[in-house]
Chains A and B, each alone.
Chain A
Amino acid sequence: MKYLMLHTLDESAHPDITEIATPPHLEAELDAWIKEMLARGIVLDGARLRPVADATSVRVVDGEAVVTDGPFAETKEQIAGYDVIDCPDLDSAVAVAAAHPTTQIGSIEVRAFDDGMPDPEVPEHPADGKLRYLMLVCADMRRSVAERGGAEAVADAEPEDDGEDDIDRWIADAGARRLYGWPLGSPDRAVTVRRVDGRTVTTDGPFAETKEQVAGYDLLECDDLDDALEVASGHPVAGGGVIELRPLWR
């Protein structure tokens, strides 16, 4: 099964994090984690994100794209990076996350992808002159769950049938600007992992209680922010939810 690890931390508590990709005292440990997980075929893709000050959000209101500065939710901890991992079950995914150094300075939200996700194939470097953006698709998933008849009904339901065509059309429009992407399972099934006094602590649910939750993500490779905004604002969820664009650390 494939899982998404969302690294989150409080940037204000780690001011150096906005200047450098990895705190020096964790660098060796991070390298070791990446090396091991790549060798074991567990980590399939991953990247650090630029600080939240470089985030841009877009939602579509009355048919018009409304672009705003900043992330989709003002939370104390913010998403700082991601990894896509392939693990037999949730327990092993949590163990892989717990071994990652982010758990020492922040936390990692582990989220299962919906079934059927192909292995992402991402070239190591972006094409000449292109920029990569993580596109977080955020929606009030609990509300849409309630509207469709409770959590039970949705736990094994297909994604909204009427949304399928829209998504296909969006993927076609995005073309080569979209490297890959996949919807995530319910945030209620998220597990958040952190280390406290050397012990691994796992808690139920996403890293922050926000109105909207991360419902899926896509990795984009675009000419510039306007190009990425055009792709993002065309996403069907931009209508009722919000899309956050985060440039990757180069």
Chain B
Amino acid sequence: MSSSVDAVALSFERSWGRLVAGLIAWCGDWDLAEECAQEAFAAAVTAWERDGVPAAPVAWLTTVARNRARDRMRRRTNEAAKVALAHADASDEVAPVDDEDIPDERLRLIFTCCHPALPMPARVALTLRTLCGLTPAEIARAFLVTEPAMEKRLVRARAKIAHAGIPYRVPPPELWGERVEGVLAVLYLMFNEGYAASSGDSLLRVDVSREAIRLTRSLVELLPGEPEVRALLALMLLTDARRPARVRDGHVVPLEEQDRSLWDLDRITEGARLLDADPPWGPYAVQARIALCHDVATRPEDTDWPAIAELYTLLPATPVVELNRAVAVSQVLGPKAALELVLPLADDLSGYYLHAATLADLYARLGRTSEAADALATAIEQAPTGAERRLLRARRESLLHG
């Protein structure tokens, strides 16, 4: 592979989102912006090979993409194209020379992609497409839907942005808090989807959690005043650090059985550094601190369970949070105390496999084997992936015959 191809690949990874965001700001047409960004990168492959890599790649790509967009708008004759052209020409007296001439519009783009009026799956898909540059085929594979279905999801989302008038802007102060929260929720969902999928059966799938980390990293730069953005990045890094040890031979390895020497020390160090030492902590900061408690324990028995149980009380007491707190409590006060916390959650968490799995674990530790086996059977039925089912089945086997 030649160095100019590498340079294009690197530029794509670094600048796709910025290029598309700038083009949308310039012409107001999402489809056109994406198409022309794609073509600009394609043109770069030959031009950079021939003429060398330009000193200001973003400016180069922007100029090429704008020229293509202008050509297309002129060829189209409908009203929308005329409006877009007028919009574009008005903001386009000088061609950009330096990369600094191109304002970074990614914030506007991400707030629009994550607007609460869009369905959640569309927010995730749109973010991966326009900010990360994943193709519809790649996103479709990552979420196990067909490519036409993913195309349709993206088309519908862009149509809603246009027709419902979802603004392309950074939200004003009165909406700031909730909209930032909304963006973080999309990024965290993206990370978790990718993380959960990283268990076998998925070699061909794009690494969505890597994209989520990359984008959150950019967001830390774009929103330096938001501690929860830093905390979310920390949470992702501190969770992702354990990924190399999470799956062995296609089986999910539970935390206490993981080979901790495989954990990524750089990620742990970076994650820890991102966290504020003092409260008040937001929900992501609290979760990151919990992850850190696990990450710094050299052996499972070194885990600071009292601290973890305490941290869980700082989170809103949802049933899932209570379940996790109970797990910590079981380590501090024993399985009997934890069982008293877990049993009342049965109604709220009746379809959630980790409730049944936790119950099974507590019963087993109390020597109530048949109840443990029943709970494991429920958990196996409810587990979302094959890898998790295999793990639970193995646990049930060893409980009954081990």
Residues of chain A touching chain B, judged by Cβ–Cβ distance below 8 Å, are 50, 53-56, 64-65, 67-70, 131, 133, 222-226, 228-229, 245, 247, 250
C-alpha gap A126/B133 in the complex (Å): 36
Closest Cβ–Cβ distance, residue B342 to chain A (whole Å)? 28
One digit per residue, 1 when the CB lies within 8 angstroms of any chain A CB and 0 when it does not, for chain B 122-136 equals 100000000000000
One digit per residue, 1 when the CB lies within 8 angstroms of any chain A CB and 0 when it does not, for chain B 161-195 equals 00111110001000100100000000000000000
Please report the number of residue pairs spanning A and B whose Cβ atoms sit closer than 8 angstroms. Answer: 50
- Given A67-B117, A68-B116, do A226 and B171 touch, yes or no (CB 8 Å)? yes
Is B72 in the interface zone, CB < 8 Å from A?
Answer: no
B164 touching A225 by the CB < 8 A rule? yes
B166 touching A247 by the CB < 8 A rule? no
A226 touching B116 by the CB < 8 A rule? no
Is B159 in the interface zone, CB < 8 Å from A?
Answer: yes
A64 touching B178 by the CB < 8 A rule? yes
Question: Which of B122, B156, B164 is close to A56, meaning CB atoms less than 8 Å apart?
Answer: B164
Question: Which of B122, B163, B165, B175 is close to A222, meaning CB atoms less than 8 Å apart?
Answer: B165
Is B160 in the interface zone, CB < 8 Å from A?
Answer: yes
B119 touching A225 by the CB < 8 A rule? no
A67 touching B160 by the CB < 8 A rule? no
Chain B residues, CB < 8 A from A54: 159-160, 163-164
Chain A residues, CB < 8 A from B118: 69
- Given A53-B156, A53-B159, A54-B159, do A247 and B116 touch, yes or no (CB 8 Å)? no
Closest Cβ–Cβ distance, residue B400 to chain A (whole Å)? 44
A224 touching B167 by the CB < 8 A rule? yes
User: What 6 additional pairs, Cβ within 8 angstroms, besides A226-B171, A247-B163?
Assistant: A50-B163, A56-B164, A70-B119, A222-B165, A223-B167, A224-B166
User: Considering residues A65, A70, A225, which has the most beta carbons from chain B within 10 angstroms of its beta carbon?
Assistant: A225
C-alpha gap A52/B45 in the complex (Å): 43
Please name the residue on chain A nearest to B161 by beta carbon: A225
Chain B residues, CB < 8 A from A131: 165
B119 touching A69 by the CB < 8 A rule? yes
B175 touching A53 by the CB < 8 A rule? no
Chain B residues, CB < 8 A from A55: 164
Chain B residues, CB < 8 A from A226: 166-167, 171, 175
Chain B residues, CB < 8 A from A228: 165
A247 touching B171 by the CB < 8 A rule? no
C-alpha gap A107/B178 in the complex (Å): 39
C-alpha gap A245/B165 in the complex (Å): 11
Chain A residues, CB < 8 A from B160: 53-54
Please name the residue on chain B nearest to A250 by beta carbon: B163
- Given A64-B178, A67-B117, A68-B116, do A225 and B166 touch, yes or no (CB 8 Å)? yes
User: Considering residues A50, A69, A70, A223, which has the most beta carbons from chain B within 10 angstroms of its beta carbon?
Assistant: A69
Please name the residue on chain A nearest to B122 by beta carbon: A69
Please name the residue on chain B nearest to A249 by beta carbon: B163
Closest Cβ–Cβ distance, residue A23 to chain B (whole Å)? 19
Closest Cβ–Cβ distance, residue A79 to chain B (whole Å)? 15
C-alpha gap A232/B113 in the complex (Å): 22
Chain A residues, CB < 8 A from B156: 53
A247 touching B159 by the CB < 8 A rule? no
Enumerate B203-246 residues with CB–CB distance to A below 8 Å: none
Chain A residues, CB < 8 A from B117: 56, 67-69, 225, 229
Chain A residues, CB < 8 A from B116: 67-69
Enumerate B138-162 residues with CB–CB distance to A below 8 Å: 156, 159-160
- Given A68-B116, A69-B117, do A50 and B175 touch, yes or no (CB 8 Å)? no
Closest Cβ–Cβ distance, residue B316 to chain A (whole Å)? 13
A224 touching B119 by the CB < 8 A rule? no
Chain B residues, CB < 8 A from A67: 116-117
The 6 sampled A-B contact pairs (Cβ below 8 Å) are A50-B163, A53-B160, A54-B163, A69-B122, A224-B167, A225-B164
Closest Cβ–Cβ distance, residue A149 to chain B (whole Å)? 35
C-alpha gap A223/B175 in the complex (Å): 16
Please name the residue on chain A nearest to B121 by beta carbon: A69
Closest Cβ–Cβ distance, residue B186 to chain A (whole Å)? 13
A225 touching B167 by the CB < 8 A rule? yes
Chain A residues, CB < 8 A from B115: 225
Please name the residue on chain A nearest to B167 by beta carbon: A224
C-alpha gap A226/B171 in the complex (Å): 9
Chain A residues, CB < 8 A from B163: 50, 54, 247, 250
Closest Cβ–Cβ distance, residue B174 to chain A (whole Å)? 8
Chain B residues, CB < 8 A from A223: 165, 167
